[in-house]
């Protein structure tokens, strides 16, 4: 029996067992459904192939730009959609449902690079970069993580030394998404007064070099890179004027974490949808494995966790719209949804059995760390 992503998701509707749709406005539901249609039509049929080849889906960028996803909550005066944070989150979840690699691109482009420019940049910087980035005509990256500075960004070693008319940047960044094809890199560096500042480095700067990290095991269609900044000269106007210290860095990361929470919900939903479709079609002992209570227990557990994550996601979005979402709550929201996504991915792979190892039917790009081996080549549900 051949089951393809197109067959398992044809005519799909959002997972909504507890009527969370009643908590959404008509505009929010329209945005969710529009992105879902694009993902079903354009992303899912090709996601496995891009993942298998570890190729970035450049051909999908114009369509993403037309959807309004990039910088979705930024105002229309900068060429963006001006959505509510709930609408933006719903759109992220739908994109993540189709491709974790593509949603990773979104988080870097929108949640980090565009957010940094919008929140910390000058009006000239915003007008120059945000409109083309919203349409995916220009791509950005966010250079914070270093080989020896990961979860401790305050220890970053990249330097920015002031010179006549600008700055000279030297240092290295690692695991930076989009950097190998970025038009602009948002680079965090330490100035001579030992403060952390931020600079816009254009991709064709001769002092900027980004090499793709090879042989990734997850989110293979998203390219992470190692950046080397070697006597990288930038003009004075490349510095983001509102980036003053570590607090500025953390404020951007908090915004990005909000998006990752919705990402976890989207990838969990994909795992559940794939497992449910397969369980209805896969027959053993003369009946679909969905009729076995052991399989039903897995599906119910997945649906229960997704429903709870939906409620938390909408609540977090409403708090953010009211400017009342604090960093601790954002971190808890992200932790909850991603942890549940990892659990749901494991249950889905157990339901699919050996089929979960085939790229055509595997839960699309499960969250990092969720690629656990199935219980056996025949699942517990078939025994």
**CATH code, domain with 176:** 2.40.110.10
Residue 4 is assigned to a structural domain of this protein: no
> Is the pLDDT at 8 greater than 80, yes or no?
no
Q: Which two tokens stand for residue 107?
A: 């988080």
- Residue 350 and residue 252 share a domain: yes
- Residue 253 and residue 237 share a domain: no
- Distance of alpha carbon 351 from alpha carbon 94, whole angstroms: 23
Last residue of a domain, one of 193, 216, 244: 244
- Nearest Cα residue to 184 out of 214, 208, 159, 212: 208
> Is the pLDDT at 6 greater than 80, yes or no?
no
> Is the pLDDT at 24 greater than 50, yes or no?
yes
Check residue 376 and give its pLDDT.
29
- Residue 168 and residue 128 share a domain: no
Q: Domain with 28 in it: what CATH number?
A: 1.10.540.10
Last residue of a domain, one of 85, 104, 134: 134
State which residues form the domain around 210.
140-244
Helix, strand, or coil (residue 147): coil
Q: What is the mean pLDDT of residues 141-146?
A: 98
Residue 75 is assigned to a structural domain of this protein: yes
- Residue 153 and residue 83 share a domain: no
Contact 112, 249 (CB under 8 A): no
CB atoms within 10 A of CB 341: 29
- Residue 373 and residue 277 share a domain: yes
Q: What is the mean pLDDT of residues 9-16?
A: 70
Residue 340 is assigned to a structural domain of this protein: yes
Q: Of residues 362 and 74, which shows the higher confidence score?
A: 74
3-state secondary structure string across 252-303: HHHHHHHHHHHHHHHHHHHHHHHHHHHHHHCEECCEEHHHCHHHHHHHHHHH
Last residue of a domain, one of 99, 134, 169: 134
Check residue 359 and give its pLDDT.
60
Query: Percentage of the chain surpassing pLDDT 90?
Result: 85
List of residues 6+ apart from 95 with CB closer than 8 A: 35, 39, 43, 64, 69, 102, 103, 106, 266
- Residue 120 and residue 54 share a domain: yes
Check residue 365 and give its pLDDT.
55
Residue 314 is assigned to a structural domain of this protein: yes
The CA–CA distances, whole Å, from 208 to 121, 179, 204 equal 21, 10, 7
Q: Of residues 353 and 205, which shows the higher confidence score?
A: 205
> Is the pLDDT at 134 greater than 80, yes or no?
yes
Residue 7 is assigned to a structural domain of this protein: no
- Residue 220 and residue 129 share a domain: no
- Residue 346 and residue 284 share a domain: yes
- Residue 377 and residue 253 share a domain: yes
Residue 5 is assigned to a structural domain of this protein: no
Q: What is the mean pLDDT of residues 220-229?
A: 95
Residue 162 is assigned to a structural domain of this protein: yes
> Is the pLDDT at 319 greater than 90, yes or no?
yes
Question: Read out DSSP for 107-133?
Answer: IIIIIIIIHHHHHHS-HHHHHHHHHHH
- Residue 350 and residue 338 share a domain: yes
Beta-bridge partners for 160: 169, 191
The CA–CA distances, whole Å, from 206 to 41, 139, 164 equal 40, 18, 18
Residue 356: half-sphere exposure toward Cβ, Cα within 13 Å: 29
Q: Which two tokens stand for residue 121?
A: 């940049």
**Tokens 């000279």, residue located:** 168
Residue 2 is assigned to a structural domain of this protein: no
Count of domains forming the chain: 3
Q: Of residues 32 and 8, which shows the higher confidence score?
A: 32
The interaxial angle of helices 85-98 and 26-38, nearest 10 deg, is 20
Q: Of residues 153 and 11, which shows the higher confidence score?
A: 153
Task: Report the phi/psi class of residue 349: left, alpha or beta, with left for phi > 0 and alpha for psi in -120 to 50.
Answer: alpha
- Residue 129 and residue 148 share a domain: no
374: confidence class by pLDDT, cuts 50, 70, 90: very low
> Is the pLDDT at 234 greater than 60, yes or no?
yes
- Residue 87 and residue 183 share a domain: no
Q: Domain with 292 in it: what CATH number?
A: 1.20.140.10
């Amino acid at each position: 029996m051949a089951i393809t992503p197109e067959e398992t998701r044809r005519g799909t509707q959002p997972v909504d067992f507890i009527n969370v749709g009643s908590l959404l406005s008509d505009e929010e539901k329209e945005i969710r459904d529009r992105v879902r249609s694009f993902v079903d039509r354009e992303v899912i049929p090709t996601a496995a192939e891009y993942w298998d080849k570890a190729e970035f889906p450049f051909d999908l960028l114009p369509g993403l730009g037309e959807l309004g996803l990039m910088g979705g909550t930024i105002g229309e005066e900068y060429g963006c959609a001006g959505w509510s944070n709930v609408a933006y989150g719903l759109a992220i979840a739908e994109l993540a449902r189709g491709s974790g690699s593509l949603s990773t691109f979104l988080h870097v482009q929108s949640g980090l690079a565009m957010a940094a420019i919008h929140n910390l940049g000058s009006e000239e910087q915003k007008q120059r970069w945000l409109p083309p980035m919203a349409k995916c005509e220009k791509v950005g990256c966010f250079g914070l993580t270093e080989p020896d500075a990961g979860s401790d960004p305050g220890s970053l070693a990249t330097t920015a030394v002031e010179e006549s008319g600008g700055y000279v940047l030297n240092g290295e960044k690692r695991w930076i998404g989009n950097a190998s094809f970025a038009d602009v890199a948002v680079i965090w560096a330490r100035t001579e007064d030992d403060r952390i500042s931020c600079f816009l480095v254009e991709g064709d700067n001769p002092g900027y070099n980004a090499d793709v990290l090879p042989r990734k095991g997850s989110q293979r269609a998203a390219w992470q890179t190692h950046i080397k900044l070697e006597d990288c000269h930038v003009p004075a106007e490349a510095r983001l004027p509102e980036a003053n210290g570590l607090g500025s860095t953390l404020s951007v990361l908090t915004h990005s974490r909000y998006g990752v929470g919705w990402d976890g919900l989207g990838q969990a939903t994909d795992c559940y949808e794939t497992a449910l479709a397969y369980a209805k079609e896969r027959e053993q002992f003369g009946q679909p494995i969905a009729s076995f209570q052991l399989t039903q227990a897995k599906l119910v557990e997945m649906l229960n966790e997704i429903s709870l994550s939906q409620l938390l996601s909408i609540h977090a979005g409403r708090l953010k719209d009211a400017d009342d979402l604090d960093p601790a709550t954002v971190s808890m929201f992200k932790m909850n949804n991603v942890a549940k996504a990892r659990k749901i991915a494991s249950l889905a792979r157990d339901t699919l059995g050996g089929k979960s190892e085939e790229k055509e039917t595997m839960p699309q790009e499960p969250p990092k760390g969720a690629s656990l081996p199935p219980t056996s080549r025949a699942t517990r549900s078939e025994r």
